[in-house]
Structure 1
Protein backbone atom coordinates (compact mmCIF):
# COMPACT_ATOMS: atom_id res chain seq x y z
CA UNK A 1 0.00 0.00 0.00
CA UNK A 2 2.86 2.38 0.90
CA UNK A 3 4.66 1.54 -2.37
CA UNK A 4 1.49 2.19 -4.35
CA UNK A 5 1.14 5.59 -2.69
CA UNK A 6 4.68 6.63 -3.59
CA UNK A 7 4.28 5.40 -7.16
CA UNK A 8 1.18 7.55 -7.44
CA UNK A 9 3.12 10.55 -6.09
CA UNK A 10 5.87 9.89 -8.62
CA UNK A 11 3.28 9.83 -11.41
CA UNK A 12 1.92 13.19 -10.28
CA UNK A 13 5.41 14.73 -10.25
CA UNK A 14 6.21 13.34 -13.71
CA UNK A 15 2.95 14.65 -15.12
CA UNK A 16 3.54 18.11 -13.64
CA UNK A 17 7.06 18.28 -15.10
CA UNK A 18 5.78 17.16 -18.51
CA UNK A 19 3.03 19.79 -18.56
CA UNK A 20 5.48 22.48 -17.49
CA UNK A 21 7.88 21.54 -20.28
CA UNK A 22 5.10 21.56 -22.90
CA UNK A 23 4.12 25.11 -21.95
CA UNK A 24 7.32 26.22 -23.69
CA UNK A 25 7.33 23.96 -26.75
CA UNK A 26 9.99 25.92 -28.61
CA UNK A 27 12.34 25.48 -25.66
CA UNK A 28 11.39 21.79 -25.50
CA UNK A 29 12.39 21.33 -29.16
CA UNK A 30 15.55 23.43 -28.81
CA UNK A 31 16.71 21.52 -25.76
CA UNK A 32 16.02 18.23 -27.49
CA UNK A 33 18.11 19.24 -30.50
CA UNK A 34 20.91 20.45 -28.23
CA UNK A 35 20.91 17.06 -26.49
CA UNK A 36 21.41 15.35 -29.86
CA UNK A 37 24.22 17.78 -30.73
CA UNK A 38 25.85 17.15 -27.35
CA UNK A 39 25.92 13.41 -28.10
CA UNK A 40 27.93 13.98 -31.29
CA UNK A 41 30.24 16.32 -29.36
CA UNK A 42 30.86 13.59 -26.80
CA UNK A 43 32.02 11.29 -29.63
CA UNK A 44 34.64 13.74 -30.92
CA UNK A 45 37.45 12.74 -28.50
CA UNK A 46 36.91 9.11 -29.44
CA UNK A 47 37.45 9.81 -33.14
CA UNK A 48 40.63 11.71 -32.33
CA UNK A 49 42.08 8.95 -30.15
CA UNK A 50 41.29 6.13 -32.60
CA UNK A 51 42.41 8.06 -35.67
CA UNK A 52 45.85 6.45 -35.76
CA UNK A 53 45.42 3.34 -33.63
CA UNK A 54 43.27 0.20 -33.94
CA UNK A 55 42.67 -0.24 -30.21
CA UNK A 56 43.06 1.45 -26.83
CA UNK A 57 43.99 -0.66 -23.80
CA UNK A 58 42.25 -3.70 -25.33
CA UNK A 59 39.20 -1.77 -26.55
CA UNK A 60 38.42 -1.35 -30.24
CA UNK A 61 36.66 1.75 -31.54
CA UNK A 62 33.23 0.10 -31.73
CA UNK A 63 33.63 -1.53 -28.31
CA UNK A 64 34.49 1.89 -26.88
CA UNK A 65 31.28 3.21 -28.45
CA UNK A 66 29.41 1.02 -25.96
CA UNK A 67 31.09 2.86 -23.09
CA UNK A 68 30.17 6.22 -24.66
CA UNK A 69 26.63 4.91 -25.11
CA UNK A 70 26.33 4.15 -21.40
CA UNK A 71 27.88 7.51 -20.57
CA UNK A 72 25.35 9.29 -22.81
CA UNK A 73 22.42 7.33 -21.38
CA UNK A 74 23.44 8.01 -17.77
CA UNK A 75 24.11 11.67 -18.57
CA UNK A 76 20.48 11.89 -19.65
CA UNK A 77 19.33 10.26 -16.41
CA UNK A 78 21.55 12.57 -14.34
CA UNK A 79 20.55 15.81 -16.05
CA UNK A 80 16.92 14.83 -16.64
CA UNK A 81 15.88 13.09 -13.44
CA UNK A 82 18.47 13.47 -10.67
CA UNK A 83 20.18 16.84 -10.89
CA UNK A 84 17.11 19.11 -11.52
CA UNK A 85 15.33 17.99 -8.36
CA UNK A 86 18.26 17.80 -5.99
CA UNK A 87 19.85 21.12 -6.98
CA UNK A 88 16.55 22.72 -5.96
CA UNK A 89 17.16 21.42 -2.44
CA UNK A 90 20.17 23.72 -2.12
CA UNK A 91 17.96 26.79 -2.65
CA UNK A 92 15.44 25.51 -0.10
CA UNK A 93 18.23 25.14 2.45
CA UNK A 94 19.67 28.59 1.77
CA UNK A 95 16.28 30.28 2.10
CA UNK A 96 15.16 28.16 5.03
CA UNK A 97 12.07 27.01 3.11
CA UNK A 98 12.71 23.30 3.35
CA UNK A 99 10.04 23.34 6.09
CA UNK A 100 7.36 23.11 3.40
CA UNK A 101 8.82 19.78 2.32
CA UNK A 102 9.56 18.37 5.78
CA UNK A 103 6.02 19.05 7.00
CA UNK A 104 4.38 17.06 4.21
CA UNK A 105 3.11 13.55 5.08
CA UNK A 106 5.68 11.75 2.93
CA UNK A 107 9.36 10.94 3.04
CA UNK A 108 11.33 14.16 2.55
CA UNK A 109 14.09 12.52 0.53
CA UNK A 110 11.55 11.09 -1.90
CA UNK A 111 9.80 14.44 -2.29
CA UNK A 112 12.97 16.45 -2.96
CA UNK A 113 14.25 13.77 -5.32
CA UNK A 114 11.14 13.87 -7.52
CA UNK A 115 10.15 17.54 -7.46
CA UNK A 116 11.33 18.29 -11.00
CA UNK A 117 12.18 16.41 -14.20
CA UNK A 118 13.44 17.59 -17.59
CA UNK A 119 11.67 15.38 -20.16
CA UNK A 120 13.78 16.47 -23.15
CA UNK A 121 16.82 14.79 -21.59
CA UNK A 122 15.21 11.51 -22.61
CA UNK A 123 16.79 12.25 -26.00
CA UNK A 124 20.14 11.35 -24.42
CA UNK A 125 18.73 7.99 -23.40
CA UNK A 126 17.57 7.32 -26.97
CA UNK A 127 20.95 8.47 -28.31
CA UNK A 128 22.69 6.00 -26.00
CA UNK A 129 20.49 3.17 -27.25
CA UNK A 130 21.24 4.25 -30.82
CA UNK A 131 24.97 4.01 -30.11
CA UNK A 132 24.48 0.48 -28.73
CA UNK A 133 22.72 -0.62 -31.90
CA UNK A 134 25.29 0.98 -34.21
CA UNK A 135 28.21 -0.51 -32.24
CA UNK A 136 26.84 -4.07 -32.33
CA UNK A 137 25.89 -3.84 -36.01
CA UNK A 138 29.47 -2.74 -36.74
CA UNK A 139 30.83 -5.57 -34.58
CA UNK A 140 28.71 -8.03 -36.54
CA UNK A 141 27.04 -9.62 -33.53
CA UNK A 142 24.53 -8.95 -30.76
CA UNK A 143 24.86 -9.27 -26.97
CA UNK A 144 23.89 -12.61 -25.45
CA UNK A 145 20.79 -12.83 -23.29
CA UNK A 146 22.82 -13.27 -20.04
CA UNK A 147 24.99 -10.32 -21.04
CA UNK A 148 21.96 -8.16 -21.81
CA UNK A 149 20.34 -9.15 -18.52
CA UNK A 150 23.53 -8.34 -16.60
CA UNK A 151 23.75 -4.94 -18.30
CA UNK A 152 20.16 -4.15 -17.28
CA UNK A 153 21.01 -5.03 -13.69
CA UNK A 154 24.04 -2.77 -13.92
CA UNK A 155 21.83 0.01 -15.32
CA UNK A 156 19.90 -0.12 -12.05
CA UNK A 157 23.08 -0.12 -9.96
CA UNK A 158 24.52 2.75 -12.02
CA UNK A 159 21.45 4.95 -11.53
CA UNK A 160 21.48 4.11 -7.82
CA UNK A 161 25.16 5.05 -7.59
CA UNK A 162 24.62 8.34 -9.42
CA UNK A 163 21.68 9.20 -7.20
CA UNK A 164 23.53 8.27 -4.00
CA UNK A 165 26.59 10.32 -4.94
CA UNK A 166 24.38 13.31 -5.75
CA UNK A 167 22.59 12.96 -2.40
CA UNK A 168 25.98 13.04 -0.66
CA UNK A 169 26.94 16.20 -2.56
CA UNK A 170 23.64 17.94 -1.83
CA UNK A 171 23.77 16.96 1.86
CA UNK A 172 26.88 19.12 2.16
CA UNK A 173 24.60 22.16 1.72
CA UNK A 174 23.32 21.60 5.26
CA UNK A 175 26.81 22.34 6.60
CA UNK A 176 28.34 24.85 4.16
CA UNK A 177 26.96 27.99 2.54
CA UNK A 178 27.51 27.05 -1.11
CA UNK A 179 27.97 23.69 -2.80
CA UNK A 180 27.87 24.94 -6.39
CA UNK A 181 31.57 24.21 -6.82
CA UNK A 182 31.02 20.66 -5.59
CA UNK A 183 28.24 20.04 -8.10
CA UNK A 184 30.35 21.46 -10.93
CA UNK A 185 33.29 19.33 -9.80
CA UNK A 186 31.14 16.19 -9.75
CA UNK A 187 29.80 16.92 -13.24
CA UNK A 188 33.33 17.49 -14.54
CA UNK A 189 34.60 14.27 -12.96
CA UNK A 190 31.69 12.33 -14.45
CA UNK A 191 32.93 13.30 -17.92
CA UNK A 192 35.78 10.83 -17.38
CA UNK A 193 33.20 8.02 -17.48
CA UNK A 194 33.13 8.22 -21.28
CA UNK A 195 36.45 6.34 -21.36
CA UNK A 196 36.99 2.64 -20.58
CA UNK A 197 38.33 2.34 -17.03
CA UNK A 198 41.42 0.47 -18.22
CA UNK A 199 42.89 3.72 -19.61
CA UNK A 200 43.35 5.00 -16.06
CA UNK A 201 46.37 3.96 -14.02
CA UNK A 202 47.56 4.20 -10.41
CA UNK A 203 45.62 6.49 -8.08
CA UNK A 204 43.08 7.45 -10.76
CA UNK A 205 42.18 3.81 -11.31
CA UNK A 206 41.58 3.41 -7.57
CA UNK A 207 39.50 6.60 -7.31
CA UNK A 208 37.32 5.85 -10.36
CA UNK A 209 36.64 2.29 -9.20
CA UNK A 210 36.09 2.54 -5.45
CA UNK A 211 35.66 6.19 -4.37
CA UNK A 212 33.79 7.65 -7.35
CA UNK A 213 32.90 4.37 -9.09
CA UNK A 214 32.74 5.57 -12.69
CA UNK A 215 33.95 2.16 -13.88
CA UNK A 216 30.87 0.51 -12.37
CA UNK A 217 28.60 2.95 -14.21
CA UNK A 218 29.85 2.74 -17.79
CA UNK A 219 32.70 0.25 -18.28
CA UNK A 220 31.10 -2.65 -16.38
CA UNK A 221 27.79 -2.49 -18.32
CA UNK A 222 29.73 -2.34 -21.61
CA UNK A 223 31.79 -5.37 -20.58
CA UNK A 224 28.58 -7.19 -19.65
CA UNK A 225 27.11 -6.54 -23.10
CA UNK A 226 30.32 -7.86 -24.66
CA UNK A 227 30.21 -10.96 -22.43
CA UNK A 228 33.53 -10.13 -20.76
CA UNK A 229 32.38 -9.19 -17.25
CA UNK A 230 33.14 -11.77 -14.50
CA UNK A 231 30.14 -12.64 -12.36
CA UNK A 232 32.14 -11.64 -9.27
CA UNK A 233 32.36 -8.08 -10.63
CA UNK A 234 28.60 -8.06 -11.19
CA UNK A 235 27.96 -9.14 -7.61
CA UNK A 236 30.46 -6.58 -6.35
CA UNK A 237 28.76 -3.80 -8.34
CA UNK A 238 25.35 -4.65 -6.91
CA UNK A 239 26.72 -4.85 -3.36
CA UNK A 240 28.66 -1.61 -3.79
CA UNK A 241 25.62 0.31 -5.03
CA UNK A 242 23.55 -0.91 -2.07
CA UNK A 243 26.27 0.21 0.35
CA UNK A 244 26.48 3.63 -1.34
CA UNK A 245 22.71 4.02 -1.13
CA UNK A 246 22.70 3.10 2.57
CA UNK A 247 25.49 5.57 3.34
CA UNK A 248 23.72 8.32 1.37
CA UNK A 249 20.49 7.70 3.27
CA UNK A 250 22.24 7.87 6.65
CA UNK A 251 24.07 11.07 5.66
CA UNK A 252 20.79 12.62 4.49
CA UNK A 253 19.02 11.83 7.77
CA UNK A 254 21.97 13.18 9.75
CA UNK A 255 22.03 16.35 7.65
CA UNK A 256 18.34 17.05 8.22
CA UNK A 257 19.01 17.17 11.97
CA UNK A 258 21.35 20.11 11.37
CA UNK A 259 18.81 22.01 9.29
CA UNK A 260 17.89 25.49 10.54
CA UNK A 261 14.52 26.52 9.17
CA UNK A 262 13.20 30.01 8.43
CA UNK A 263 11.03 29.85 11.55
CA UNK A 264 13.92 28.91 13.88
Structure 2
Protein backbone atom coordinates (compact mmCIF):
# COMPACT_ATOMS: atom_id res chain seq x y z
CA UNK A 1 0.00 0.00 0.00
CA UNK A 2 2.76 2.44 0.97
CA UNK A 3 4.71 1.63 -2.20
CA UNK A 4 1.61 2.29 -4.28
CA UNK A 5 1.12 5.76 -2.80
CA UNK A 6 4.82 6.60 -3.12
CA UNK A 7 4.65 5.65 -6.78
CA UNK A 8 1.54 7.79 -7.24
CA UNK A 9 3.28 10.71 -5.51
CA UNK A 10 6.23 10.32 -7.88
CA UNK A 11 3.90 10.40 -10.89
CA UNK A 12 2.27 13.60 -9.69
CA UNK A 13 5.61 15.25 -8.96
CA UNK A 14 6.84 14.43 -12.46
CA UNK A 15 3.61 15.72 -13.98
CA UNK A 16 3.93 19.03 -12.11
CA UNK A 17 7.58 19.36 -13.11
CA UNK A 18 6.87 18.69 -16.78
CA UNK A 19 3.99 21.18 -16.73
CA UNK A 20 6.22 23.83 -15.18
CA UNK A 21 9.07 23.19 -17.64
CA UNK A 22 6.80 23.56 -20.66
CA UNK A 23 7.26 27.31 -20.31
CA UNK A 24 10.89 27.64 -19.25
CA UNK A 25 10.86 31.43 -19.35
CA UNK A 26 8.00 31.51 -16.86
CA UNK A 27 9.72 28.83 -14.79
CA UNK A 28 12.90 30.93 -14.47
CA UNK A 29 10.94 34.13 -13.86
CA UNK A 30 8.88 32.51 -11.12
CA UNK A 31 12.09 31.20 -9.56
CA UNK A 32 13.60 34.71 -9.55
CA UNK A 33 10.43 36.15 -8.03
CA UNK A 34 10.57 33.48 -5.32
CA UNK A 35 14.17 34.49 -4.54
CA UNK A 36 13.13 38.15 -4.41
CA UNK A 37 10.35 37.50 -1.90
CA UNK A 38 12.77 35.41 0.15
CA UNK A 39 15.15 38.37 0.29
CA UNK A 40 12.36 40.68 1.44
CA UNK A 41 11.82 38.42 4.48
CA UNK A 42 15.27 39.47 5.70
CA UNK A 43 14.61 43.20 5.46
CA UNK A 44 12.63 43.63 8.75
CA UNK A 45 15.35 41.77 10.64
CA UNK A 46 18.11 43.98 9.24
CA UNK A 47 16.07 47.09 10.06
CA UNK A 48 15.43 46.02 13.67
CA UNK A 49 19.05 45.14 14.39
CA UNK A 50 20.28 48.40 12.89
CA UNK A 51 18.03 50.50 15.08
CA UNK A 52 17.84 48.49 18.30
CA UNK A 53 20.23 46.77 20.70
CA UNK A 54 22.51 43.88 19.78
CA UNK A 55 19.90 41.27 20.66
CA UNK A 56 16.12 40.90 20.84
CA UNK A 57 14.75 38.96 23.80
CA UNK A 58 18.08 37.13 24.11
CA UNK A 59 18.43 36.38 20.39
CA UNK A 60 21.41 37.83 18.53
CA UNK A 61 21.33 38.74 14.84
CA UNK A 62 23.05 35.50 13.83
CA UNK A 63 20.67 33.39 15.93
CA UNK A 64 17.63 35.21 14.53
CA UNK A 65 18.88 34.44 11.02
CA UNK A 66 18.46 30.74 11.81
CA UNK A 67 14.78 31.37 12.57
CA UNK A 68 14.48 33.24 9.25
CA UNK A 69 16.13 30.28 7.53
CA UNK A 70 13.53 27.87 8.85
CA UNK A 71 10.77 30.32 7.99
CA UNK A 72 12.10 30.54 4.42
CA UNK A 73 12.26 26.77 4.04
CA UNK A 74 8.77 26.18 5.42
CA UNK A 75 7.34 29.01 3.34
CA UNK A 76 8.72 27.28 0.25
CA UNK A 77 7.08 24.02 1.30
CA UNK A 78 3.79 25.78 2.06
CA UNK A 79 3.67 27.75 -1.20
CA UNK A 80 5.20 25.04 -3.36
CA UNK A 81 3.62 21.82 -2.10
CA UNK A 82 0.75 22.37 0.35
CA UNK A 83 -1.06 25.51 -0.77
CA UNK A 84 -1.35 24.83 -4.56
CA UNK A 85 -3.07 21.48 -4.09
CA UNK A 86 -5.35 22.21 -1.18
CA UNK A 87 -6.67 25.52 -2.47
CA UNK A 88 -7.98 23.54 -5.44
CA UNK A 89 -10.24 21.66 -3.02
CA UNK A 90 -12.22 24.83 -2.40
CA UNK A 91 -12.97 25.13 -6.13
CA UNK A 92 -13.98 21.45 -6.30
CA UNK A 93 -16.40 21.94 -3.42
CA UNK A 94 -17.77 25.18 -4.82
CA UNK A 95 -18.41 23.66 -8.25
CA UNK A 96 -19.51 20.27 -6.94
CA UNK A 97 -16.77 18.46 -8.87
CA UNK A 98 -15.18 16.73 -5.90
CA UNK A 99 -17.08 13.63 -7.08
CA UNK A 100 -14.33 12.97 -9.63
CA UNK A 101 -11.81 12.75 -6.81
CA UNK A 102 -13.95 10.66 -4.46
CA UNK A 103 -14.65 8.10 -7.18
CA UNK A 104 -10.96 7.35 -7.78
CA UNK A 105 -9.51 4.17 -6.18
CA UNK A 106 -7.25 6.04 -3.75
CA UNK A 107 -7.59 8.01 -0.54
CA UNK A 108 -9.31 11.32 -1.31
CA UNK A 109 -7.19 13.32 1.14
CA UNK A 110 -4.01 12.05 -0.49
CA UNK A 111 -5.31 12.87 -3.96
CA UNK A 112 -6.34 16.44 -3.16
CA UNK A 113 -3.08 16.99 -1.24
CA UNK A 114 -0.88 16.01 -4.20
CA UNK A 115 -2.87 17.45 -7.07
CA UNK A 116 -0.39 20.20 -7.94
CA UNK A 117 3.15 21.28 -7.05
CA UNK A 118 5.10 24.45 -7.90
CA UNK A 119 8.71 23.22 -8.25
CA UNK A 120 10.34 26.66 -8.52
CA UNK A 121 9.73 27.14 -4.79
CA UNK A 122 12.61 24.70 -4.28
CA UNK A 123 14.75 27.86 -4.48
CA UNK A 124 13.53 28.58 -0.95
CA UNK A 125 15.38 25.50 0.29
CA UNK A 126 18.63 26.69 -1.31
CA UNK A 127 18.08 30.19 0.10
CA UNK A 128 17.46 28.72 3.57
CA UNK A 129 20.74 26.78 3.46
CA UNK A 130 22.60 29.97 2.48
CA UNK A 131 20.97 31.82 5.39
CA UNK A 132 22.01 29.01 7.77
CA UNK A 133 25.62 29.23 6.59
CA UNK A 134 25.63 33.03 6.95
CA UNK A 135 24.04 32.88 10.41
CA UNK A 136 26.54 30.36 11.78
CA UNK A 137 29.37 32.30 10.15
CA UNK A 138 28.31 35.35 12.20
CA UNK A 139 28.14 33.17 15.32
CA UNK A 140 31.65 31.87 14.64
CA UNK A 141 30.71 28.21 14.95
CA UNK A 142 28.67 25.49 13.33
CA UNK A 143 25.79 23.28 14.49
CA UNK A 144 26.47 20.00 16.23
CA UNK A 145 25.59 16.71 14.56
CA UNK A 146 22.95 16.03 17.21
CA UNK A 147 21.52 19.51 16.69
CA UNK A 148 21.21 18.92 12.94
CA UNK A 149 19.51 15.56 13.45
CA UNK A 150 17.05 17.00 15.97
CA UNK A 151 16.28 19.93 13.67
CA UNK A 152 15.55 17.49 10.83
CA UNK A 153 13.06 15.69 13.09
CA UNK A 154 11.50 19.06 13.84
CA UNK A 155 11.36 19.81 10.12
CA UNK A 156 9.13 16.75 9.78
CA UNK A 157 6.91 17.84 12.66
CA UNK A 158 6.73 21.38 11.26
CA UNK A 159 5.62 20.19 7.82
CA UNK A 160 3.04 17.92 9.46
CA UNK A 161 1.73 20.84 11.53
CA UNK A 162 1.53 23.13 8.49
CA UNK A 163 -0.27 20.49 6.48
CA UNK A 164 -2.70 19.69 9.30
CA UNK A 165 -3.54 23.35 9.88
CA UNK A 166 -4.15 23.83 6.17
CA UNK A 167 -6.42 20.75 6.06
CA UNK A 168 -8.43 22.22 8.95
CA UNK A 169 -8.68 25.53 7.10
CA UNK A 170 -9.78 23.94 3.84
CA UNK A 171 -12.26 21.66 5.63
CA UNK A 172 -14.19 24.79 6.56
CA UNK A 173 -15.17 25.04 2.87
CA UNK A 174 -17.51 22.07 3.34
CA UNK A 175 -19.53 24.22 5.73
CA UNK A 176 -19.21 27.81 4.47
CA UNK A 177 -18.00 27.17 0.86
CA UNK A 178 -16.18 30.50 0.47
CA UNK A 179 -13.06 30.46 2.65
CA UNK A 180 -10.71 32.60 0.54
CA UNK A 181 -10.38 35.22 3.28
CA UNK A 182 -9.65 32.49 5.82
CA UNK A 183 -6.80 31.07 3.73
CA UNK A 184 -5.33 34.54 3.21
CA UNK A 185 -5.61 35.13 6.95
CA UNK A 186 -3.72 31.92 7.71
CA UNK A 187 -0.97 32.87 5.24
CA UNK A 188 -0.67 36.29 6.87
CA UNK A 189 -0.50 34.76 10.35
CA UNK A 190 2.31 32.47 9.21
CA UNK A 191 4.46 35.54 8.45
CA UNK A 192 4.85 35.98 12.23
CA UNK A 193 6.94 32.78 12.24
CA UNK A 194 9.93 34.75 10.95
CA UNK A 195 10.49 36.15 14.47
CA UNK A 196 11.89 34.22 17.47
CA UNK A 197 9.09 33.05 19.76
CA UNK A 198 10.22 35.09 22.84
CA UNK A 199 9.31 38.26 20.91
CA UNK A 200 5.64 37.42 21.52
CA UNK A 201 4.25 37.66 25.02
CA UNK A 202 1.00 37.11 26.86
CA UNK A 203 -1.89 35.89 24.75
CA UNK A 204 0.16 35.91 21.53
CA UNK A 205 2.78 33.69 23.14
CA UNK A 206 0.10 31.14 24.07
CA UNK A 207 -1.58 31.29 20.63
CA UNK A 208 1.66 30.93 18.66
CA UNK A 209 2.80 28.00 20.79
CA UNK A 210 -0.34 25.91 21.31
CA UNK A 211 -3.13 27.10 18.96
CA UNK A 212 -1.18 28.01 15.83
CA UNK A 213 2.22 26.57 16.85
CA UNK A 214 4.51 28.89 14.88
CA UNK A 215 7.15 28.64 17.61
CA UNK A 216 7.36 24.87 17.09
CA UNK A 217 7.84 25.37 13.35
CA UNK A 218 10.71 27.87 13.29
CA UNK A 219 12.03 28.75 16.76
CA UNK A 220 12.33 25.16 18.01
CA UNK A 221 14.42 23.96 15.02
CA UNK A 222 16.66 27.03 15.38
CA UNK A 223 17.12 26.27 19.09
CA UNK A 224 17.95 22.66 18.19
CA UNK A 225 20.68 23.80 15.79
CA UNK A 226 22.05 26.06 18.54
CA UNK A 227 22.02 23.12 20.97
CA UNK A 228 19.69 24.69 23.50
CA UNK A 229 16.35 22.98 22.88
CA UNK A 230 15.13 20.97 25.90
CA UNK A 231 14.36 17.34 25.14
CA UNK A 232 10.92 17.82 26.66
CA UNK A 233 10.19 20.45 23.99
CA UNK A 234 11.20 18.00 21.27
CA UNK A 235 8.87 15.39 22.76
CA UNK A 236 5.96 17.83 22.93
CA UNK A 237 6.62 18.93 19.35
CA UNK A 238 6.43 15.35 18.08
CA UNK A 239 3.35 14.48 20.15
CA UNK A 240 1.65 17.76 19.26
CA UNK A 241 2.20 17.32 15.50
CA UNK A 242 0.80 13.79 15.61
CA UNK A 243 -2.21 15.06 17.58
CA UNK A 244 -2.80 17.85 15.05
CA UNK A 245 -2.55 15.34 12.20
CA UNK A 246 -5.06 13.02 13.88
CA UNK A 247 -7.54 15.85 14.51
CA UNK A 248 -7.23 17.16 10.95
CA UNK A 249 -7.81 13.64 9.58
CA UNK A 250 -10.97 13.20 11.65
CA UNK A 251 -12.24 16.65 10.62
CA UNK A 252 -11.56 15.81 6.96
CA UNK A 253 -13.45 12.50 7.15
CA UNK A 254 -16.38 14.16 8.91
CA UNK A 255 -16.42 16.97 6.33
CA UNK A 256 -16.37 14.50 3.44
CA UNK A 257 -19.39 12.76 4.91
CA UNK A 258 -21.30 16.06 4.68
CA UNK A 259 -20.31 16.75 1.09
CA UNK A 260 -23.17 17.23 -1.38
CA UNK A 261 -22.15 16.90 -5.02
CA UNK A 262 -23.47 18.90 -7.95
CA UNK A 263 -25.60 15.93 -9.00
CA UNK A 264 -27.33 15.60 -5.62
TM-score range, shorter chain: over 0.9
The more displaced of 140-149 and 159-168 is 140-149
Gaps of 5+ in 1: none
Q: How does 1:75-94 map to 2 (within 5 A)?
A: 75-94=75-94
Question: Displacement, 1:86?
Answer: 0.2
- Per the alignment, in what secondary structure is the counterpart of residue 229 of structure 1? coil
Q: How does 1:21-170 map to 2 (within 5 A)?
A: 21-52=20-51, 53-170=53-170
The more displaced of 239-248 and 33-42 is 33-42
Question: Displacement, 1:31?
Answer: 0.7
Aligned length: 263
Question: Does 1:183 pair with 2:183?
Answer: yes
CA distance in 2 between counterparts of 1:27 and 1:186 reads 27
**Which residue is 1:203 aligned to?**
203
> Scaled by the length of structure 2, what TM-score is found?
0.99
Gaps of 5+ in 2: none
Q: C-alpha offsets along residues 30-66 of structure 1, whole Å, 9 cap, x if unaligned?
A: 1100111111110000011101320000000010000
CA distance in 1 between counterparts of 2:177 and 2:82 reads 21
CA distance in 1 between counterparts of 2:125 and 2:142 reads 19
Question: Displacement, 1:177?
Answer: 2.4
**Which residue is 2:10 aligned to?**
11
- Per the alignment, in what secondary structure is the counterpart of residue 106 of structure 2? coil
Q: C-alpha offsets along residues 213-249 of structure 1, whole Å, 9 cap, x if unaligned?
A: 0000000000000001000000000000000000000
CA distance in 1 between counterparts of 2:257 and 2:179 reads 18
**Which residue is 1:173 aligned to?**
173
CA distance in 1 between counterparts of 2:44 and 2:137 reads 22
Cα RMSD after superposing both structures:
0.6
- Per the alignment, in what secondary structure is the counterpart of residue 30 of structure 1? helix
CA distance in 1 between counterparts of 2:177 and 2:73 reads 32
CA distance in 2 between counterparts of 1:59 and 1:142 reads 17
Q: 8 Å contact 2:31–2:123 — kept in the other structure? A: yes
CA distance in 2 between counterparts of 1:222 and 1:110 reads 30
**Which residue is 2:212 aligned to?**
212
Q: How does 1:223-242 map to 2 (within 5 A)?
A: 223-242=223-242
> Scaled by the length of structure 1, what TM-score is found?
0.99
CA distance in 2 between counterparts of 1:91 and 1:24 reads 25
CA distance in 2 between counterparts of 1:221 and 1:57 reads 17
- Per the alignment, in what secondary structure is the counterpart of residue 261 of structure 1? coil
The more displaced of 166-175 and 125-134 is 125-134
Question: Displacement, 1:129?
Answer: 1.1
4+ runs deviating over 4 angstroms? none
Question: Displacement, 1:133?
Answer: 1.0
